[in-house]
Homo-oligomer: A and B are copies of this chain.
């Protein structure tokens, strides 16, 4: 389909088709220069403990400092590089050793390289034919994650976020019990009800709302003083729901709650689920990575009894945002049956390879990013033992922090002897974090001293 190499212009609808479009030489040079800038300003400088975590500006002021406007004419490369520099300058350096504000932090060189590669290759993981390597990598990574959960067999898919994984699980559970829901919807069904702890992630409510179940049909089970769901309370709530004619179908336990870093007692919860025929989903988005550590994996004792698990290696394992798997127990093909739409333009059944590799039909997305690949690259580079060390180190660091808080004036430890310490939770500074005024550097980025959560 190459254009004939003729000298006369091919003019269609006023467009010269065989003329040059982009100046590729200049474009390539721009990419090279920008890569150098990223290397210097982000990979090297933004990870330097002596640099600032953030050059903070309030919104209205930052708008004045950045040239945000999109105009009719394009901007030259030197101007674009200046813009790149500004964007980096005013962005929060989440790779900085003192970035503590969210559930992720730090720079992993291997996942970064994987991410650069996928951005350059720009694949979409729906069919094997267009994404052969990334389909196989996803399969390999899922298999390994399933092994760490302790299932004999399983299935899974990478999603844009733990919230979305929780939605997948919720929909899967209701499909399991009421397969007609896919075609008929909820209108003919009894009032579905699901259970989670008071300390669950807010996505459980969001999921219930989005899936048409409704937030009022999320029953928040009481937790103990350590933020763990009380199994006896769960059972009471299940019985109560049945009594009023509602249809309990799912328990969403949490392994690593957002605020307290608590791990629900999965074994006892699994007992309740078995007794009452409920789907057990474990939101291990944050805490799932503890499965990599022989020392800490007992925090998730009983997880092999779950029907589904959400686990985000982009958190404790630093795989880069986003890297989130939903994992499903067994080889029932439930994921495929529940999500398949059999789009004939994409998922033809008469291809010249095994179409079970066209994994996109298991997804709610059409275009899908190869998020498994960055985790795979890190795993390859560090090995299972390296990942284990990463987890052990993270948990040892928080234990160290707790001891330091006890010793330090102006800090008060709110809770002790937690199995794991969610960063920031136990830290309540009595005054704003002291900045190094002489150098003008904010050594630790924690603008709100009294916030709850991390």
Contact = CB atoms under 8 A, between A and B. Distances in A.
Given A353-B59, A368-B161, A91 B129 contact: no
A150 interface: no
Copies of this chain held together in the complex: 2
Given A58-B353, A345-B453, A366-B163, A17 B216 contact: no
A57 B132 contact: yes
B209 A182 contact: yes
Nearest to A351: B448
Contact of A46 (B95, B116, B121, B397): B121
B163 A365 contact: yes
A415 interface: no
Interface in A172-228: 181-187, 189-192, 201-203, 205-206, 208-217
Given A74-B381, A212-B181, A397-B17, A321 B369 contact: yes
A144 to B, nearest CB: 5
Contacts of A255: none
Contacts of A46: 120-121
Nearest to A323: B367
Most buried by B among A68, A113, A129, A444: A113
Given A35-B116, A39-B35, A211-B212, A187 B184 contact: no
B30 A87 contact: no
Interface string A419-453: 00000000000000000000000011001100111
Contacts of A209: 181-183, 185, 341
A105 to B, nearest CB: 9
B383 A74 contact: yes
A130 interface: yes
A151 interface: no
A181 to B, nearest CB: 7
Given A70-B379, A133-B66, A161-B366, A102 B116 contact: no
Interface string A219-255: 0000000000000000000000000000000000000
**Chain A to chain B: the 3 pairs with minimum beta-carbon distance, closest first:** A345-B453, A212-B212, A185-B214
